[in-house]
Each structure stands twice: as C-alpha cells, then as structure tokens.
Amino acid sequence: MAPPLEPTGDERQQLQAEEGEVVTGEEENKDAEWCYQWPVFRFDRAPRRLYHFRQQFMAGDSPGCNFFKGVKWSPDGSCFLTSSDDNTLRLFYLPEDAFTDRAECTAADIDGPDSYVSSLIVGEAETVYDYCWFPYMSASDPATCVFASTTRDHPIHLWDANSGQLRCTYRAYDAMDEITAALSVCFNTSGSKLFAGYNKFLRVFDVHRPGREFQQHSLLKGNDGPSGIVSSIAFSPTHTGMLAIGSYSQMTAIYSEDNMELLYVLHGQLGGVTQVLFSKDGNYLYTGGRKDPYILCWDIRNTIGIVYQLYRSSEHTNQRISFDIEPCGRHLGTGGEDGLVHIYDLQTGEWATSFQAASDTVNGFSFHPSLPLAASSSGNRRFDLLDNVEEKLSFSGDQNCASVWSFSGSLELGHDAAITDEALDSGDVSQGLGLNPRPGMTTSNWNKKALEGKVGIPTGSRKKMMPAALIEEILLMTASSATLQRRKGRLRWLSLITSDSYSILSATPLVVGEREAVGDVPIMAISAM
C-alpha cells in the first residue's frame, strides 16, 4: 500500500498557519525532495540486456539436452527463479547496481561468460511440472523466503530460498493410496492455502499443516466444469475470492474460493490452456494455450464473448510459453517461437512494440514487480541425429539462455508528465494525466467527465508529487465510489474505498481544478483495460 501523501509547500504552510503551526524552510525542503517511486516503462525504446546467463546451464556431457522452461521474479523483486530441463531450479539475486546504477551498467556480452553465477541450486529427482513463490516473500524476513515446486511422481515440495533446504512436503494420495503428483500449484492471495491441480481434481492444502491432509474438490460437478488435467491456477489480485483454472481440455473455469462454486466456464482456446492470468484490477482474464497463436482476453463481468486476441508465434510448438503484465497493468509481454518478445497495450488490445530476446523460442517472460526490468528465458529440446552422432551441437550466445532486460523509464514524475492548469482549461485532461479512457469511451467524453468533477485530477503544487502511474493504479483498484469534499477552502480530499471495506489510500490531497466537487461522486469513467 502506498503511503498517504500530505500537502506540501504553500498548501501545507497555509493549513498549518491556520492551525497555529509554523513550517520551517528546512522541513519544506525535505518535503519537496520526497517523491513516491513507481516503475514507468517506456516501450518506444529498445531495452538493454543488463545481465546474461548461459554457460552454467550448458555444463555436462550433453549440453544440447538442457534448456530453459521458464523464469519468475520473486514478489519483492530481490531475485528470480529459473526452471530448466535438467530438473533443476536456480535462484539469481539481483546485484546492487541493478537497483541504483542501471544507466551506468554496460550491456551484457552474449558470447562471453555469464554475468554472475546462481546463488542457489535446487535439484529435483524428476521433471519439474510447476513452481511458484510465496506471495508475501521478502528477503528481509527469512521465514517468508520460500517457494513451492511439483515434480513427476513426487509430492509438492516447499523449499527454503536462502539455504535450499526442504521445509516440508504436501502429499496427495489416489484411491490406491499411492502418491499422485500435482500438475500445477499456486498460493492463494492471503498465502494461507496452497492450491494444487490434478486430473479432474483440485486439492487444497493448509500451508501451516504439511502432510497428507487436504480438501479435495471435483471439477466435474454437474458435468459443467473443466475435464482433464488442471494446467494452470491464478487468483484475482483484488482479493475478491475468485480463482481461474485452465485445463488441457481447452476450457477455462472461474470459481469462488470460499465454496468452490463454479461461476463461469470459458471456451475458445484452440489448444490446451497452459496459463491463466488476471489483470491488475481483476476485471479481465488472459488465457494462453498450447499450439495456439492467440492470447485471449475475457471480461469476467460479461463472459459472453472474447474482448480481443493477442498474437504470438506459438502455433508450432508444444512448449509452455508464459506471458506477464507489467506492474502498472497497462501492457502485457509475451515470448514466442520467433525469439521476439511482443508488448501489447491492454487498453486497446493493439501491438505496441517488440524486441529480439533470443534466436530460439522465448518460453518465459516476467516483469520485475517494482523496477523497469524484465527477465526472459529461451530454449527448446534438440535431438542428435544418428547420422551426425560424432558432431556436437553448437549454440550461439543467445540460444538456451536467460537474460535480464532494462527498459528506459523514469521512477519520478517530471514536469512533462504532470497535469497543468493550461491542460485543464483546454480540456486535454487525459493526455496531461497519462491516463486513457476505457474501451468504447472517447477521449473527449473522458475529458468531459473529468472536468465535471467525475474523476480526481491533481493540479497546482501537487502535480510534482503524485506520479500519473500511481493515480492510474489507485483509480483502477477502486470499486465503485469516491468521496470528494472541500477542506479549508483549498483542498479536496479523495478517499477511495474498495468493495472489501478497507481503504486503499485515504486522506490523499487531490484537487479537482477550480470547480466544486462535493459529496459522493462515481468514478466509473476510468477502467483498467
């Protein structure tokens, strides 16, 4: 949760003068230097390859037999986890210069040695089906530094991300009292339950009670649910209690977490569903399939049809190709067989840009949760032909590799990105704010609603203190209403209340031009996608 922002400069001085307080110049200077930081990606410029990893994955007698299968950032952004075909999970911590001096770092050499070695190597006995981070993982709290993995013919393992030791196991048994392996795993949003997908079943483990105790839910109640193997699980990030399940039967289902009531069933994927992912506001669901060249966008408030399709080159491979949404929720990135990472604008569903990440299949792509960084992984299985048994497979530096990319961007709001009084007078509100109307709403209608006081617009001295991306993120997370009221004749205070009855950001000073905006004001003019 972002810290509440307080008035500064002349506004604070006036308010404190009315209350009998004195503001010193030193306090005012400290306040002016403070600014909320939020990652802002610029996709109009090609990213730089900041770090590169390949050599440590090519060791062994058959280097061509190993390849990457995915990459995932930790929730706190301190490290990322990779999975490879040698049944190994490797953890890489970000160097200190990645947080401070990215602009001064030179681009990584793809043909040279690895940028640095992995900090932790966890070897599994069989093929790794899936893995996931504990949602509240923080490097400053060792108790939370864990991740779960599931492998063939083995129970679910919970690993310590610091020592690599096995914390505990979660075991499911079939009717013959034999251990059955989960095909997908995911923690719920509170981190108290571990959901595991099986063939036609979903089993739920209590994180604090490892062992063989679990709740089992059949997905074929009433013959309406998805059949086949549960390949992917995702929870809505807005704590609405909804979870999405993708299966290899080309079906996606949305359930209520509390009672596992089936809410929606989505059809339309050409191949078996390999990934499901909610948008940042929880109103949209994105699904991708095996040998399916399109990522489908669904509006869960109206599931009668597909909103739009996002193309990626994946129609000729059985590999699982993952995609991710950047922290602000505006863009989606996905890999493909062509070695490109495609970036799409989720508000319009249009292609934004692409860049060459590898010369083979990019099967994993993940945005950093708090910095303008992203990680990619590439590779595919290769076979030695009998006629060329004496010849060894050779690879270029950008094949079977993992890379960390640095995007151009700014973590602070400058003068160019701020809303100005002139923009308010001219009506060009959305452009100055960096916000965009929801699909189907024209910019002029959006501006009209903004000028009528239907949305919160920062002006005056606040324009340097609140990033446009933060305003957008706050407004996207709100449920139904906002309360605007005057205070001291100068400030209006915006209190955003969610459907969960807790405040996302309270007592935040925002100004709505010079117009009156008193009472309960709907803000439905802004939507996430």
> Both tokens of residue 384?
């030695």
pLDDT tens sequence across 130-170: 999 999 999 999 999 999 999 999 999 999 999 999 999 99
- Average pLDDT over all residues of the chain: 74
Question: Angle 9-18/25-33 helices, nearest 10 degrees?
Answer: 140
| Other CB atoms within 10 A of residue 83 CB | 25
d(CA 467, CA 463): 8
Residue 229 has what pLDDT?
Answer: 93
Per-residue pLDDT, averaged over 76-95, amounts to 94
Least confident of 4-18, 99-113, 336-350, 352-366: 4-18
- Split at pLDDT 50, 70, 90, the class of 124 is very high
d(CA 198, CA 187): 15
Residue 31 has what pLDDT?
Answer: 44
Residue 60 has what pLDDT?
Answer: 56
Residue 112 has what pLDDT?
Answer: 84
Residue 111 has what pLDDT?
Answer: 81
| Tokens 């990619």, located at residue | 376
- Split at pLDDT 50, 70, 90, the class of 107 is confident
Residue 397 has what pLDDT?
Answer: 53
Residue 45 has what pLDDT?
Answer: 87
Per-residue pLDDT, averaged over 383-393, amounts to 51
- Percentages helix, strand, coil for the chain (3-state, rounded to 5) are 15, 35, 50
- Split at pLDDT 50, 70, 90, the class of 63 is low
d(CA 12, CA 225): 57
Is the model's pLDDT at 127 over the cut of 70?
Answer: yes
pLDDT tens sequence across 410-434: 543 333 333 333 433 444 433 333 3
pLDDT tens sequence across 272-311: 999 999 999 999 999 999 999 999 999 999 988 999 999 9
Residue 379 has what pLDDT?
Answer: 86
Is the model's pLDDT at 326 over the cut of 90?
Answer: yes
d(CA 202, CA 231): 11
